[in-house]
Amino acid sequence: MPSQVAPAFMTHVADNVRQRRTAAGWSQKELATRSGVSLRMIGAIEAGGSSASTATLDRIGLALNATLAELVVDPNAPRSRVVDRVGWAGPAGGDGTLRWSLDVHREVEAWEWRLQPGERYAAAADPAGWCVMLFVLEGRLTLELGTDVIEIEQNAHLLDSTQAHAFANRSDRVVRFFRCTAW
């Protein structure tokens, strides 16, 4: 049985699909043809009466030149933000959650960092429009943002890097993390 997206994930899908389809000047039938999704399913999605699979939404998104995040977020909300919407709920309690959506204009960089105990890297503020995601894989990363200190241990964090910041290892174990930057 195909995985279905959770109903809350679909809150804005009907409006977003309809708006993008009409902006393209397409009928529902045209979208169905271009996406390979049945006309009946397109109608149900736009009526808000379907919990389509993420694979179906991806196919619709490709036809409409839209990402999955663009189809599920509030169209009035700013881009490059925390989404935190459950997109899949498994029968045994598993889940898949879309955490963030970044509006990338130019490129994405992925840096793998390893800080030994006592090491610290200080960074200047990034330009406005940059988005940074941290993924701590091992150990506990201390993130310093002005006077704020955030401890991140085997977790992810969306960082406002438009202010001076530092990565530090205040523990006695190695810290391994990824810093992904998009602008």
Per-residue model confidence as pLDDT tens digits over 46-58: 998 777 877 788 8
Q: What is the pLDDT of residue 152?
A: 96
pLDDT in tens, 76-92: 766 556 677 777 777 77
Residues 148, 79 share a domain: no
Q: Would you write out the chain's pLDDT as a tens digit for each of its 183 residues?
A: 344 555 666 778 999 999 999 999 999 999 999 999 999 999 999 998 777 877 788 889 989 998 877 888 877 766 556 677 777 777 777 776 777 666 666 677 788 889 999 999 988 888 787 778 899 999 999 999 989 999 999 988 988 888 889 999 999 999 999 988 877
Q: In this structure, are 159 and 95 located in the same domain?
A: no
Cα separations in angstroms, 162 against 127, 128, 130? 6, 6, 7
pTM for this entry: 0.52
Q: Are residues 90 and 175 in the same domain?
A: no
Q: Are residues 14 and 89 in the same domain?
A: yes
Separation of alpha carbons 10 and 35, rounded Å: 18
In terms of domains, do 94 and 115 share one?
Answer: no
Give the whole-angstrom CA distance, residue 73 versus residue 11: 8
